[in-house]
Structure 1
Amino acid sequence: MKQKSRGARGIVDKFRRKHIAKMRVNLIVRQLRPRSKSSVSNYFLILSIVGLLWYTLHWKRTANEVTRSRHSLGHYIVNKNLEDNSNVQQLANEYDRSNDVHEKRYPKDLGQEDDDPFNRGKLKRDRKKLKLAEESPIESEGRKVHAKLEVPPERAVGNEPIILVWKAMEYQMKHYKEHLEYISPPECGGCKVTTNRKLVRECAALVHFNSPDLRKFLDVPDPKTRNPNQLYAFWSRETPAKTYHFGDVLKDPRFDSIFNLTINFRPDSDIVDYFGNIQYELTVFHEKQKSNWFEKMMTRKSGLAIWAVSNCNNTHGAAERMKYAMKLINSGLKMTTYGTCFNNRFKGSDLVKEMQRHKFYISFENSIHCPDYVSEKFWRNGLRSSAVPIVWGPTKEDVIKVAPVNSFIHAEDFKSPKELVDYVNYLDRNDTAYREYHKWRFQPLDESTPYEDIIPTHRSTLCRLCKKVTDKHLTRKTVPSVYNWLYKTGFVDDECLKS
């Protein structure tokens, strides 16, 4: 009887404990529940839950990145075949530098060309990251690659020449800490690049970029009161066809004649801002060719021609190139098309591989006969992707000045779009004739030019400016008119500036 009573008491105690626990939970819930059903209380409750979820997910992602980084570093050290652990820290530092050689480029939108250098639309949208350019250092015998853009320890920080970027491309200004705040390597002169305008009196050079919002940035120091030892550099990267509509701003007397240097893609500028060049393309190719890259690319080519374009008619040249491209398609050219002009955004993860799958790239510029304008469409999308560029826009003479010999097809060499299509189809059937357009890749490297002077990035451009600044034998000059230099020099006809 006693045992039965004890069993009943146990059941009651268990029930009592459950009931007490339930009461405690209800009490906690009541305390957390908003005291009124007002929208404000509900809003803050939802906000707290969202914040908790974000913190949890962000912590998990960060932890995964750290883990991957540690695994990569471990793999890097193991591959070095260390006999002991004495140099582990040295290798860790070396690994960090090897992952910070090039500037981090902002990826293009899927299936788009680089027709928006100011990135007005692109900055408003999140997008998948595409590797559209070489982001790995290329090192070959005789050419040293300088890993991290930093001042050497033996150089006293604070004594370096200052390059003040007063205005740059919009995405660079938006992310200025990443793109415009650093110390250039000693090979460039060790200049401090900054956007800090408080250093305007101390800087050795001031850089001003030509952009649609130029009028807001005419607040440059008065040339009558500026430091007479300073160099003012005018930087313009886009085709004159796209900047001409706001070019009148350059005529402002406070601005037009204050510059000492020009930075541009034109070879007659004081500092050439490359979209690409032969030596860089050869350097990239020779490094890839160590793994028989060229033959691998040739076996993958299942498509004929490809074009990614999103500027359909913003300029006269853009509208005309669309007309010409449609004539090619109507004449029988099998063209894979991407971009908003064709309402077909690339949905894959790697647009470069898609370009490499094709034999030809439609390298049509957004302008006609603008002096020396041969953009990344030719270099990156065409040559670097193992495709032969079909060029339209620049004059053939301008392309020949910068391109490898027999590396491209120019539309103006053909009497009609049909004749061009027939020739492309002939090359598609004749592999020997097609490979003739790739022979330039196998010429020897000329390594006399330092690597930092051939890589097509804005840091390389500012590196060359730093060399000018630190050149004790530099002859100072003043550009009489940047407007005349940009819009009235080197034009073969009036096609470029047509509206």
Structure 2
Amino acid sequence: MQFMVMSKQRNLLQVVLLIVMVSMCLYWYAAYHDVVEHSELFHLITKETKYILLWKEFWGYKFGSGNKAFVDAGCRILDCLITDNASLMPHEDFDAIMIHPPTQNTPYKFKNRRPDQIFVMFTIEPPSHMPRNLKVFDNYFNWTMTYRTGSTFHLKYGEIIPLDSAPSTMDQAMVMRQEIMRSGINPAKGKTKLAVWLATNCNAGSNRQTYVKILKKYAMVDIFSKGQSCGGRDVCPREKNRNVCYHLVEKTYKFYLSFENSICEDYVTEKFFEILNRNIVPVVLGGVDYAAIAPPHSYINALDYTPHQLAEYLNELDRNDTLYAEYFWWKPHYRVNNLYETNRQVFCDLCEALHSTPLEKSTVKGLQTWYMKQAYCVNNPVFEEN
């Protein structure tokens, strides 16, 4: 009997030892991979490195993490590290903390905030997606990084850069348009359908859904949407494979409806820049001054037409490949940067600003007026049919 008890005790001890050994192996395995996974955080760290914290949830952030992000971006100054790991060090030891108001409705009260610590407001959302009362953030931020002109760091969804061959006058641009018409280049070749809208929000403040509904009466417009919302078909889910989806659209359609969810000053998203990078003509609806940011005759502005008039114009271009080709005259003479590229630019600028001596610190006031009221958004416009 005593032998059986001792035997059971030995077996139990062996099991316990085995569990301990397995646990230690798992711990060291996880620790090793954690170091490997986060080794990019500490690529070129020096005593001068500036530490930047991304506070909680962010939308539209496309830069990367660690010091490696600045190295990969080719920044002029590399001594910065960016992370969303708030436990990396005490909050007061970060040189800058970036905060995203659309997911943080009120200012978070950090303990022991340093006088020289920079709080940066980060957002590329329109006013309709922001907290209604931005006054609570007055005197909280030092710098801003947004899509709005006048931001400390102007983070655009994209930009169109003229190359050396770009025209400097409208007359030169017209000559180039005529040259492509004579060249025999045919961007319409192989395209079998007229226009497509990749729908997400069916009740947008821009009332784009109504414009499309009327447009469909007079022109062949396909709608792709998740779960067949907005009267569409679940054919091309961008969230699963964005490039495959856009490739399908580019190959098949002549026009893409780059309709923004908000009609606000400065607000133009990847719906425009992504399409400009492809062999398809964007039809735009938004509040930005498109003529100021894009070459002439590179897009069609839906707000210049009623839906019926726009349908007639698109159908005319559909019948005439030469006129359609004229919308592609600008492509050899400009480069289109996307949101990833503009992120690299502004975060390099942020790093450089944190290293400036003396530090150019300010306090942001009047956010409700600047970001909300002076965006001059047009909410739920009425679109006449004819």
Regarding TM over 0.5, the answer is: yes
CA apart distance, 1:206: 1.4
- Structure 1 pair 480–165 and aligned structure 2 pair: CA distance change class (3 A): same
1:209 partner amino acid = H
- Structure 1 pair 307–445 and aligned structure 2 pair: CA distance change class (3 A): closer
Given that 2:41 and 2:81 are in contact with CA atoms closer than 8 Å, whether structure 1 keeps it comes out as: no
Does the residue aligned with 1:484 lie in a helix, a strand or coil?
helix
Given that 1:362 and 1:391 are in contact with CA atoms closer than 8 Å, whether structure 2 keeps it comes out as: yes
- Structure 1 pair 167–497 and aligned structure 2 pair: CA distance change class (3 A): farther
Question: Which residue of 1 is the match for residue 287 of structure 2?
Answer: 394
CA apart distance, 1:214: 2.7
Question: Which residue of 2 is the match for residue 61 of structure 1?
Answer: none
Question: Which residue of 2 is the match for residue 419 of structure 1?
Answer: 309
Question: Which residue of 1 is the match for residue 11 of structure 2?
Answer: none
CA apart distance, 1:221: 2.3
Determine the C-alpha separation between the residues in 1 that align with 2:193 and 2:219. 11
Higher Cα radius of gyration: 1
Does the residue aligned with 2:120 lie in a helix, a strand or coil?
strand
> TM-score, normalising length from structure 2?
0.70
Tell me, yes or no, if structure 1 residue 263 matches structure 2 residue 157: no
- Structure 1 pair 308–490 and aligned structure 2 pair: CA distance change class (3 A): closer
Given that 1:166 and 1:207 are in contact with CA atoms closer than 8 Å, whether structure 2 keeps it comes out as: yes
Q: Percent identity?
A: 28
Q: RMSD between aligned alpha carbons?
A: 3.4
Question: Which residue of 2 is the match for residue 42 of structure 1?
Answer: none
Given that 1:241 and 1:496 are in contact with CA atoms closer than 8 Å, whether structure 2 keeps it comes out as: no
Tell me which of 271, 292, 301 is aligned to 1:377.
Answer: 271
CA apart distance, 1:156: 4.3
Determine the C-alpha separation between the residues in 1 that align with 2:273 and 2:153. 19
CA apart distance, 1:281: 11
Determine the C-alpha separation between the residues in 2 that align with 1:306 and 1:478. 45
Question: Which residue of 1 is the match for residue 246 of structure 2?
Answer: 352
Given that 1:280 and 1:454 are in contact with CA atoms closer than 8 Å, whether structure 2 keeps it comes out as: no
- Map 1:67-216 onto structure 2 (within 5 A): 155-157=44-46, 159-169=48-58, 179-183=64-68, 184-185=70-71, 187-190=75-78, 191-197=80-86, 198-215=89-106
Determine the C-alpha separation between the residues in 2 that align with 1:435 and 1:478. 50
Given that 2:185 and 2:325 are in contact with CA atoms closer than 8 Å, whether structure 1 keeps it comes out as: no
- Structure 1 pair 206–229 and aligned structure 2 pair: CA distance change class (3 A): same
Determine the C-alpha separation between the residues in 2 that align with 1:445 and 1:387. 15
CA apart distance, 1:150: 7.6
CA apart distance, 1:352: 1.4
Determine the C-alpha separation between the residues in 2 that align with 1:280 and 1:161. 34
Question: Which residue of 1 is the match for residue 367 of structure 2?
Answer: 482
Query: Which structure has the highest strand share of the two?
Result: 2
Q: Deviations over 1:440-465 (max 9, x none)?
A: 1111669xxxx9x9844645443332
2:284 partner amino acid = V
Question: Larger relative contact order (C-alpha < 8 A, sep ≥ 6)?
Answer: 2
- Structure 1 pair 483–199 and aligned structure 2 pair: CA distance change class (3 A): farther
Question: Which residue of 1 is the match for residue 28 of structure 2?
Answer: none
Given that 1:257 and 1:482 are in contact with CA atoms closer than 8 Å, whether structure 2 keeps it comes out as: no
Given that 1:279 and 1:454 are in contact with CA atoms closer than 8 Å, whether structure 2 keeps it comes out as: no
Does the residue aligned with 2:161 lie in a helix, a strand or coil?
helix
CA apart distance, 1:230: 2.1
CA apart distance, 1:158: 5.2
Question: Which residue of 1 is the match for residue 221 of structure 2?
Answer: 335
Given that 2:282 and 2:300 are in contact with CA atoms closer than 8 Å, whether structure 1 keeps it comes out as: yes
Question: Which residue of 1 is the match for residue 108 of structure 2?
Answer: 219
Determine the C-alpha separation between the residues in 2 that align with 1:386 and 1:352. 10
2:259 partner amino acid = F
Tell me which of 208, 224, 228 is aligned to 2:115.
Answer: 228
Determine the C-alpha separation between the residues in 2 that align with 1:311 and 1:355. 19
Q: Deviations over 1:417-444 (max 9, x none)?
A: 1111111111112222212211111116
Determine the C-alpha separation between the residues in 2 that align with 1:486 and 1:213. 16
Alignment size in residue pairs: 309
Tell me which of 135, 140, 145 is aligned to 1:251.
Answer: 135
Q: Deviations over 1:190-235 (max 9, x none)?
A: 21002233342222221111224534xx32426xx52222221101
1:393 partner amino acid = G
Tell me, yes or no, if structure 1 residue 277 matches structure 2 residue 155: no
> TM-score, normalising length from structure 1?
0.55
Q: Deviations over 1:28-77 (max 9, x none)?
A: xxxxxxxxxxxxxxxxxxxxxxxxxxxxxxxxxxxxxxxxxxxxxxxxxx
Question: Which residue of 2 is the match for residue 241 of structure 1?
Answer: 128
Q: Give the gaps of 5 or more residues in structure 1.
A: 1-148, 283-293
Given that 1:234 and 1:261 are in contact with CA atoms closer than 8 Å, whether structure 2 keeps it comes out as: yes
Given that 1:240 and 1:497 are in contact with CA atoms closer than 8 Å, whether structure 2 keeps it comes out as: no
